[in-house]
Structure 1
Amino acid sequence: MTLTRRRFTTLAAAGIASGFAPLRASMAQTSLGVFTLTSLSDGALTLPLSMTLEHVPDDQRAAVTQHYGFGDTLTPPCNVTLLQTDTRNILFDVGAGPEFMSSAGFLLDALDAAGLGPDDITDVVFTHAHPDHIWGLVDDFDDLLFANASYMMGQAEWDYWTDPDTVNTIDAGRTTFAVGAARRLARIADQVTFFGDGAEILPGVAARATFGHTPGHMAFEVRQGSEAIMILGDCIGNHHLAFDHPDWRSGSDQDADQGVATRVALLDQLAHEQMQILGFHLPDTGIGRVEKAGSAYRFVQD
């Protein structure tokens, strides 16, 4: 077993069913044709409830808090996707690293539990450049952690976070996001490949523009024949308000109105097609499906 930066901490055991084979708590694995997808835990975030309730109508906040049993803070999990083919070990996002929150940044431990080290990763694909998705790009010495990997990011997302003016135009609460993203993306400027909506970035992996959470956020449809799974990133950011009230604006989205449009359209598609999903902040390992529930939706774990 490889010695990793942090001792592996196990979160609540995931309820894993269907075709998913339990590896250990907060990890699950499934096959999709010749592909293997593994949900790896990077830990969890610790967020103030006010962030979730920011755009909830004032007269409904108390009822919403009671209905979901919200406390003063929320601790959504961080689920990093590992896609393995016969020749590649592909990470979708790289977690928070050691500098963002003490409750997150455990990706190396999760990789170790899956029998891999950072040098085994062949490709890194980013959904977006928020801290919990990209700050794990470098180690404690600011060196690239995944030294043998190629890197891919949507062109619009890259352009936004590498624009020197972003730190001046982003809202004040996200200034450190802009500084941190620019510093880390500069480390891969000579190694990154860009893509747009609909591009097949790797065999069987297509990019899907899901803007709103960030200006260039991308989800990814992994398909083998008639079977597919959508790697969501943060375009559907939780299993409660995002499903029950997808038309409510979210405080976690940088463009809240565009986030609503993206979320409503995507939930409708996913419910209609019954495509599996893997959500970065959805419960336990983030794996499940979307079902229609009257005028709303619900997340059903697989």
Structure 2
Amino acid sequence: MHIGVVDRAPLQKPNELVPSRYAVRIGELEVLVISDGVLPLPTKMLGHNAELADRTAWLDEMFLPREAFDWSLNVALVRSGAQTILIDAGLGFDPDLNLPRAGQLIMRLEAAGVDLASVTDIVLTHMHMDHVGGLIVAGVKERLRPDLRIHVATAEVEFWKSPDFSHTAMPQGFPDALKSAATRFAEEYAGQIQTFEDEYEVAPGVTVQRTGGHTPGHSVVRLASGGDRLTFAGDAVFTVGFDHPDWHNGFEHDPEEAARVRVRLLRELAANGEQLVATHLPFPSVGRVAVEGETFRWVPAFWDY
């Protein structure tokens, strides 16, 4: 897969013993899922409305630690004709949060031979720090093309002018960091942000749709070409959401609406059989959804070498 190849791409860091990119073809669309690293968070964030015993039982069944574990951070790069579209931009770097294993996107794009100047469009599922932070890392904006288009829902931009965290359950420091990152992003890229209301075709076969829930302007990106389909679901779906779609994630600004969005999306994906990628599913997070009684089942794709 060749997307804006640079003359000499650096290798991945020698201590990286796992792959950090995975290519998928959706009809004529080239898709590269890229890991931005991992984000260690308390397990309570998976379902702060659930009983401790229920959360513990689920974690034990999944062979996950009970106190905290690493959330994957996935980003996607899509080539549609002459356009190269980056879906979300990773965490970037916040010195106050001490997250050294996240914010790897720029280095890993370089390792994949992707020149930042080749990116024509960026689609943001929402403006949380782990989705816009990569754009406010020192030196990144100067490497992006001046006619870059950044697509984000109008409701999302408006929300971050005066965000409401009253229904979230985040670790200390995160609300301030989220607000700071969103504000800085909106200021630095004001001239390149292109807003949409509910749905917008970014490129042939690439459509962004607002869902709301997780944040007021949270959106998913639908890819369709040659009968193949894939949805990049952003933060609409978390790993626990298949077994417990009614559990509230700590970052959700409207948890009840987020649960409704999650169930609608999972039902749709189960019915049409299209592939799913989401920000916080285990890398590379490519798979499908099956109905399992009143809940759902995640069916990871077999890796295609």
2:248 matched to which residue of 1? 249
- Given the superposition, is the C-alpha separation of residues 215 and 11 from structure 1 closer, same or farther in structure 2, using an over 3 Å criterion? farther
Q: Which has the higher contact order (CA 8 A, sep 6+)?
A: 2
The answer to whether residue 232 in structure 2 is matched with residue 231 in structure 1 is yes
Q: Is this contact kept in 1: 2:273–2:288, CA < 8 A?
A: yes
What residue in structure 2 maps to residue 135 of structure 1? 133
Once the two structures are TM-superposed, the CA of residue 296 in structure 1 deviates from its matched residue by: 1.2
Aligned to 2:4: none
Change (3 A) 1:167 1:252: closer
Q: Is the 8 A contact 1:40 1:110 kept in 2?
A: yes
Aligned to 1:269: 268
- Does the Cα contact within 8 Å between 1:195 and 1:201 map onto a contact in 2? no
Residues 205 and 174 of structure 1: CA distance in aligned 2, closer, same or farther (over 3 Å):
same
Q: Give, in whole Å, the separation in 1 of the partners of 2:294 and 2:235.
A: 22
What displacement does 1:58 show?
4.0
Task: State how far apart, in whole Å, the 1-side matches of 2:41 and 2:113 are.
Answer: 31
Q: Quote the sequence identity (%).
A: 29
Please say if residues 8 and 110 of structure 1, whose CA atoms lie closer than 8 Å, have aligned partners that are also in contact. no
- Trace 1:21-170 onto structure 2 (pairs within 5 A): 25-71=19-65, 72-99=67-94, 101-140=99-138, 143-148=141-146, 149-161=148-160, 163=161, 165-166=162-163
Contact between 2:42 and 2:69, CA under 8 Å: does it hold in 1? Answer: yes
Structure 1 residue 177: Cα displacement: 0.6
| Gap regions ≥5 residues in structure 1 | 13-24
Aligned partner letter, 1:209: R
The answer to whether the Cα contact below 8 Å between 2:80 and 2:204 also exists between their aligned partners in 1 is no
Tell me the secondary structure at the aligned position of residue 252 of structure 1. coil
TM-score (norm 1): 0.86
Corresponding residue pairs, total? 285
Q: Aligned residue for 2:16?
A: 10
Can you give the 5+ residue segments of structure 2 that lack an aligned partner in the other structure? 1-7
Matched residue of 1:66: which SS? helix
CA change 1:145–1:137 in 2 (3 A) is farther
Aligned residue type for 2:86:
L
Q: Hey, what's the Cα distance between the residues in 1 that align with 2:60 and 2:83?
A: 46
